Structure 1
Amino acid sequence: MKIAPIFLSWFLLFISGSCSSDLDFDQANDIELRPVVIGNLASFDVAAKQFVNNGIEQTVSIDTPELGVFNDTFFKKNLIQTDLFFEVDNTINRAFELQLFFLDDANAPVTSIRMDIPAYIGSSNIVTKTVVYQGANLDALKQSKKIAFVITLLSGPPLNASSVGNLKLRSNLTAFFDIK
């Protein structure tokens, strides 16, 4: 019976002497966060008849609002990669060339993207493209203030004011950050 109190005393002494170490609060300075943010970039929906003015086919230009995201200092400093995703759905019986121009403060192009859109022939006609920006390409993109879209008709059956179909674009931006 005397063994139990001695054993209990040794056991309590053993577990009360547990390991501990000094806390290093300077480790908070070494925290590195790598968040990923996805957001809408731009979209449009152009009807076939918008490519015709007074019976003459024309190129269509679309300006989007400013890209305020690239004005943010935090964004510019911590952004390490941007993936731009574009999806174009063409239900017009004409092929198109779509050019996207990323413009600076003076409306000068800093970078551009080209997409060839085939004519609609009765089945799904969705074209997608992903463009990745890193390093020097990303630095150029960060100078962008807005996007201009230029849609050029390629050869094919003539369009008129009663032509049917639409050219629709949707796009998004995936931003990768490294916050130290």
Structure 2
Amino acid sequence: MKAYPTYRLIGIVILTLFSFSCNSDLDFNQVNDLKLEPIFIANLSYFDVPAKNFVDNGMERTVSFDAENFDVFRDAFLRNNLKRADFFFEVTNTINRAYSFDLILLDQNGQAVITIRFDVPASTGAPIIIEKTEVFENARLDLLKTAKRMEFVLSMAPGPALSESSLGSIKLRSSATAYLSVE
């Protein structure tokens, strides 16, 4: 029975120590200073067009891809918090013809709001790789936010004739990096 007063004394000492613990006032207004700046990377588009697709019934033709939906800004959160967008393009040409590549962003009325163009030289045996980054900020970003559809157009430059047995292809890989700021 002598152990009981010892436990009681230890309990009183512990309670006394806890009553003198450190504390401070909590500032819940710090949440008003919170600023998140996430970065998202997503695939934009990809295609691989063999040389034979540029020939139709023995006649060379310009290849135009139908417009795709590009209504990523229908979401108010993204539309309101996007501060910058970078589009990265990589075109690889293994065809012995030069091309011009156009990405056309269209608004809801089908009018072009942004056109991105670059030339792709002909391959002379080794693959030709062209890289390009387009940055959208401020007024240009506002134009991008109006885009509802995008269209890819490949135009073949004059050069050696292609046939349905021609080798090579032209490939596009593209991605978008979105920089958000949430306050």
- Common fold by TM > 0.5: yes
- The 2-side partners of 1:45 and 1:98 are apart by 13
The aligned runs of 1:53-64 (5 Å cut-off) are 53-64=56-67
| 1:38 maps to 2:41 | yes
Give the conservation status (yes or no) of the 8 Å contact 1:42–1:64: no
Give the conservation status (yes or no) of the 8 Å contact 1:100–1:113: yes
Aligned mate of 1:67, from 65, 70, 73: 70
Alignment-mate amino acid for residue 127 of structure 1: I
Aligned mate of 1:177, from 169, 176, 180: 180
Alignment-mate amino acid for residue 108 of structure 1: Q
Alignment-mate amino acid for residue 88 of structure 2: F
Structure 2: state its 5+ residue gaps. Answer: 1-15
Give the conservation status (yes or no) of the 8 Å contact 2:68–2:151: no
| 1:79 maps to 2:52 | no
- The 1-side partners of 2:93 and 2:160 are apart by 15
Offset of residue 51 of structure 1: 1.1
- The 1-side partners of 2:105 and 2:67 are apart by 10
Offset of residue 74 of structure 1: 0.6
What is the TM-score of this pair, normalised by structure 1? 0.87
- The 1-side partners of 2:179 and 2:162 are apart by 42
Alignment-mate amino acid for residue 112 of structure 2: P
- The 2-side partners of 1:108 and 1:34 are apart by 32
Q: What residue number does 1:6 align with?
A: none
| 1:159 maps to 2:162 | yes
| 1:114 maps to 2:117 | yes
Partner SS state of residue 50, structure 1: helix
Q: What residue number does 1:26 align with?
A: 29
Partner SS state of residue 98, structure 1: strand
Q: What residue number does 2:127 align with?
A: 124
Q: 1:95-135 CA deviation, whole Å, 9 max, x = no partner?
A: 00001101111221110100110111111311110010000
Task: State which drifts further: 155-164 or 126-135.
Answer: 155-164
Offset of residue 65 of structure 1: 3.0
Q: 1:63-119 CA deviation, whole Å, 9 max, x = no partner?
A: 353123221111100000000000011110000000110111122111010011011
Offset of residue 173 of structure 1: 0.2
Q: What residue number does 2:149 align with?
A: 146
- The 2-side partners of 1:56 and 1:170 are apart by 27
Q: 1:34-72 CA deviation, whole Å, 9 max, x = no partner?
A: 000000001111111111122221111113531232211
Give the conservation status (yes or no) of the 8 Å contact 2:71–2:147: no
What is the TM-score of this pair, normalised by structure 2? 0.86
**How many percent of aligned residue pairs carry the same amino acid?**
48
Give the conservation status (yes or no) of the 8 Å contact 1:83–1:173: yes
